[in-house]
Amino acid sequence: MTAPAGTDDGLARIVAPDTARIERLLPGPIERIWAYLTQEDKRRQWMASGIIGDATGAGVEHIFRHEELGSDCGEPPPKYAALAGESRIHGHIIACEPPHLLAYTWGEGTPTPSQVRFELKARGAEVLLVVTHARIAAPEMMASVAAGWHTHLDILANVVSGRPSSGFWEKHTRLEQAYAQRMTAR
């Protein structure tokens, strides 16, 4: 499993029984990466469209269209058939300190909403982006969450570096299997 540059090997880490964390070192400046988190037209290039408010309590909507994330994205495996076409996730901002911190609930309206936290730190001409996804409902979801963030952040790294992306579902499936094996081996 190879990964783009970060502060470690680029892999997601399980930092608590219900929490995964992943880091990427991206070309700055920090305001540019903040825009890719918060501006719909930029965020849709690597993750999802939809509106994100700019203050604590404001709404968050992600509209996922995985087939738009690069070329040859393929069909989701049967396990993720419900994500074909368009899927939506809602939440509310729980912390917003531009351009360093954005945190919000993930999956409101489901029995077990979680939380996502983006932290940005300038590192010279680059930006360290740390994504922490907490309150993951079940251990069996951990490999999927880790693979999802890994895949999306690889796409973000490509987008901000001017490189093409391809094969979303193939990559996610491969990474999910690799994460599941790593977690079983622990």
State the alpha helices, DSSP H only, in the chain: 30-38, 40-43, 142-161, 168-185
For residue 30, the enclosing domain spans 13-185
4 belongs to a structural domain: no
5 belongs to a structural domain: no
8 belongs to a structural domain: no
Dist CA 179 CA 135 (whole Å): 18
Evaluate whether 12 touches 24 at the Cβ level (below 8 Å).
Answer: no
Dist CA 18 CA 135 (whole Å): 5
One-letter amino acid of 133? H
One-letter amino acid of 19? T
Considering Cα of 41, then 45, then 48, then 53, what sign does the dihedral take? negative
Domain count, the chain: 1
176 belongs to a structural domain: yes
Q: What is the pLDDT of residues 6-44, one digit of tens each?
A: 445 789 999 999 999 999 999 999 999 999 999 999 999
pTM for the structure as a whole? 0.93
91 belongs to a structural domain: yes
Q: What is the pLDDT of residues 44-88, one digit of tens each?
A: 999 999 999 989 999 999 999 998 998 877 788 899 988 888 999
Query: From the centroid of its chain, how far is CA 5?
Result: 16
CATH of the domain at 148: 3.30.530.20
130 belongs to a structural domain: yes
47 belongs to a structural domain: yes
Q: Which of 125, 148, 140 is nearest to 66 (CA)?
A: 148
- For 6, the token pair is 């970060």
Q: How many CB atoms lie within 10 A of CB 164?
A: 9
Dist CA 168 CA 49 (whole Å): 16
Q: What is the pLDDT of residues 146-168, one digit of tens each?
A: 999 999 999 999 999 999 988 89
Per DSSP, the three-state class of 100 is: coil
- Residue 3: pLDDT band (50, 70, 90) is very low
3 belongs to a structural domain: no
Evaluate whether 37 touches 61 at the Cβ level (below 8 Å).
Answer: no
